[in-house]
Amino acid sequence: MAGKTLYDKLWDAHVVHTDANGTVLLYIDRHLVHEVTSPQAFGGLQLAGRQPWRRDSMVAMPDHNTPTTPGFTTIDDPVSRLQVETLDDNARRYDLRYFPIGDMRRGIVHVAGPEQGATLPGMTVVCGDSHTSTHGAFAALAFGIGTSEVEHVMATQCLIQKKSKALQVRVEGEIGAGVTAKDIVLAIIGQIGAAGGTGYAIEFAGKAIQMLSMEGRMTVCNMAIEAGARSGMIAVDETTIEYLRNRAFAPMGDLWPRAVAAWRELHSDPDAVFDRVVVLDAAAIKPQVTWGTSPEMVVAVDACIPDPACEPDPVKRSGMERALQYMGLQPSMPITDIQLDRVFIGSCTNGRIEDLRTAAAVIQGRTVAPSIKQALVVPGSGLVKRQAETEGLDRLFKQAGFEWREPGCSMCLAMNADRLLPGEHCAATSNRNFEGRQGQGGRTHLVSPAMAAAAAIAGHFVDVRTF
Amino acid sequence: MKIFNQLKGLVVPLDRANIDTDAIIPKQFLKSIKRTGFGSNLFDEWRYLDHGEPGMDCTHRPLNPNFSLNQPRYQGASILLAQENFGCGSSREHAVWALDEYGIRCVIAPGFADIFFTNSFKSGLLPVVLDVHTVNRLFREIEATTGYRLVVDLPAQTVTTPDGIVFHFEIDEFRKQCLINGWDDIGLTLRHADEIRAYEIRRREETPWLFA
């Protein structure tokens, strides 16, 4: 019998019940909660007169609607304010572990959770948020769910699931200088497509993945969903274990060695069989830039925008034509000719300390180009912000002309006041370049933090490897 | 849960791949703490020519005449036809609530994003996967025929065209039964409450750090 994949091991350990047709009740260890997708679930729970099954599995914080203006005291938008206050009320009513506005530990749920050690290897982790795949970096089975499923987990600690197929994405060799985890995952999406991972759980493997820090691994798993996979995951190794040591929610004392011994089993067996394997050569990956309105519309920074006329598939061709029209770009135009209006460094993809360090390292005494209307740096959590300030990164950014903000989702999805105006081009370290994602009519180009910082200084895209 | 059995409905075409949930219901409408009130903002940025905000009276907003949902021949549609990877992106169930409230009961496409697909069943919205050739054929037939209606039969797992051509679709048996019977998921799961408790007792012994 073939060995087990990491996904098999995580799945098998959480099966509570299996129906005749293979439908499974899957136990959920960690439930992260934010203000946007939870109010209706709490409402449903209350309406049915139910209590949370296991409130200690839940960790809650507001992130999507929160202002990022330094020293803000209130949320001006009354609709946003009510949504955050509703989470405040629900956290109080059900006595949840809660990081409210003003708590240093608060941040984007996918940054602040792992930072606290709330995500541990071997867990099932869910949240009413598609970027929950982030937590798979810890060899956890982590996936986003809708509000009905949020209520389901609250009420039963389980989800009704069918097992996905297993896809291994192996990135062999080493990435070059100036190439980051973001470029790896954008290159993967470019290769397999935005629906390439639909129906699969992805395990990222290979030397280039193993060499990434936990921050980099979270960046890669974060964007598994942009390749269509609900979950992405990476095996446990020393990097994982060292990251977790002494985190607030991590096991302590006698439990630590016991946990570590169990975690070391969390890798695919050498003879495990995947339903599909995709291999990339890390050395061939260059800094990536998206040019269209789907993350799969991506090329290397030294390339030109593809010509739809060369695309044989009619559905893809019309998608490319529509994207170019929306983006206000021409086929065959060099990526480095794209002029930018705004720059956004942050989000659950790239709002961690390592991201801010690599962006700051690019600046080197230079300043933001006068043609850039705004360059925002939004740390992923209060603790990331504090750490960056301790290292003096905030001063480097501010001296260069960047704005230094309070933590939150911010301009990644523009639910708060941070947004693009129609027609504006933005170099963004976030995860989605959909039409209107960063503001109606806004034009998003997804890049790494280093590429975003370099673009802010040049006013257009430049190859950070030679910048 | 809302029941779905058989549906005979007018079909509105949206001939695009990768229709994401940001397009289906833009983020500003996600600030609501209710499950209702999303229908008039379905596809807001494609449907209207001005910028929509929560609380606006949509009856007086300028409509985009080129958008299929606004065209007179598609008024009253209850089936939406789209291309590959429908519902990709954000997990927002608001996308399903918006489609449902607008009156869409069934979406037909060559493929759906996993989270959207799961969410649809919770509101009795049936996602039907047909191969891309069939979907392209349906697009052509809709274009050619005003008042084009399809019959979607969930128990029989078929889609029937006005000419009587029948296409079979696959669906998970459990999900099918949930829709036909209108079963409540949470109620079904709670029937296994004893098994959940037994699992927890075992896991607390094996992996106590997961219960801190």
CB contact under 8 A, B196 and A19: no
**Chain B residues 48-107 with CB within 8 Å of chain A:** 51, 54-55, 83-85, 88-94, 96
Strands B158-160 and B166-168: antiparallel
DSSP annotation of B147 reads T
Count of C-beta atoms within a 10 Å radius of residue A51? 11
A141-144: strand order across its sheet: A97-98, A58-60, A30-33, A124-127, A141-144
Rounded distance between C-alpha atoms, residue A218 and residue A193, angstroms? 20
Mean pLDDT of A191-198: 98
How distant is the Cα of A284 from the closest Cα of chain B, in angstroms? 28
CB contact under 8 A, B35 and A43: yes
Assign residue B17 a region: left if phi > 0, alpha if psi is -120 to 50, beta otherwise?
beta
Strands A141-144 and A124-127: parallel
Dihedral, CA of residue B63, residue B64, residue B66 and residue B68, to nearest 10: -60
What contacts B80, CB < 8 A, 6 or more positions away? B11, B12, B14, B99, B104, B106, B107, B108
Mean pLDDT of A55-68: 97
CB contact under 8 A, A251 and B209: yes
Dihedral, CA of residue A35, residue A37, residue A40 and residue A43, to nearest 10: -50
Q: Note whether B52 and B26 are within 8 A (CB).
A: yes
DSSP annotation of A294 reads S
Mutation to test the B interface, candidates A160, A226, A245, A432, most B Cβ within 10 Å: A160
- Which chain B residues are closer than 8 Å to A318 by Cβ? 15-16
Mean pLDDT of A121-134: 98
List Cβ<8 Å contacts ≥24 apart for B153-160: B153/B6, B154/B4, B154/B5, B154/B6, B154/B126, B154/B179, B154/B180, B155/B5, B155/B6, B155/B180, B159/B108, B159/B128, B159/B130
How distant is the Cα of A178 from the closest Cα of chain B, in angstroms? 28
Provide the token pair at A136.
Answer: 């798979």
CB-neighbour burial class of residue A233 (10 A; exposed 0-12, middle 13-18, buried 19+): buried
What contacts A334, CB < 8 A, 6 or more positions away? A303, A304, A305
- Which chain B residues are closer than 8 Å to A64 by Cβ? 30
Q: What is the pLDDT of residues A334-389, one digit of tens each?
A: 999 999 999 999 999 999 999 999 999 999 899 999 999 999 999 999 999 999 99
Q: Is A467 helix (H, G, I), strand (E, B) or coil?
A: coil
Q: What is the pLDDT of residues B53-81, one digit of tens each?
A: 999 999 999 999 999 999 999 999 999 99
Question: Residue type for B168, please?
Answer: H
Pick from B31, B188, B209: which is nearest to A83 by CB?
B31
Confidence of residue A209 (pLDDT cuts 50, 70, 90): very high
CA–CA distances in Å: residue B108 to residues B28, B43, B142, B146:
27, 17, 13, 18
Q: Give A71 or B200, the one with higher predicted confidence.
A: B200
The DSSP secondary structure of B84-118, one letter per residue, reads SSBTBS---THHHHHHHHHT--EEEES-B-HHHHH
What is the reported pTM? 0.97
How distant is the Cα of A390 from the closest Cα of chain B, in angstroms? 31
pLDDT above 90 for B99:
yes
Mean pLDDT of A108-113: 98
Residue-level pLDDT at A20 = 86
How distant is the Cα of A240 from the closest Cα of chain B, in angstroms? 16
Q: What is the pLDDT of residues A246-302, one digit of tens each?
A: 999 999 999 999 999 999 999 999 999 999 999 999 999 999 999 999 999 999 999
- Which chain A residues are closer than 8 Å to B132 by Cβ? 315
pLDDT above 80 for A1:
no
Q: Is B35 on the interface with A (CB under 8 A)?
A: yes
Q: b/e string for A308-326 if b means 16 or more Cβ within 10 A?
A: beeeeeebbebbbebbbeb
Mean pLDDT of B139-150: 98
DSSP annotation of B63 reads B
Beta strands in A349-395 (DSSP E): 374-377
CB contact under 8 A, B189 and A152: yes
pLDDT above 80 for A34:
yes
Q: What is the mean pLDDT of chain B?
A: 97
CB contact under 8 A, B84 and A228: no
- Which chain B residues are closer than 8 Å to A258 by Cβ? 209
| Residue in B with minimal Cα distance to A435 | B23
CB-neighbour burial class of residue A365 (10 A; exposed 0-12, middle 13-18, buried 19+): exposed
CB contact under 8 A, A434 and B91: no
Beta strands in A253-382 (DSSP E): 276-281, 288-290, 298-300, 342-345, 374-377
What contacts B132, CB < 8 A, 6 or more positions away? A315, B83, B84, B110
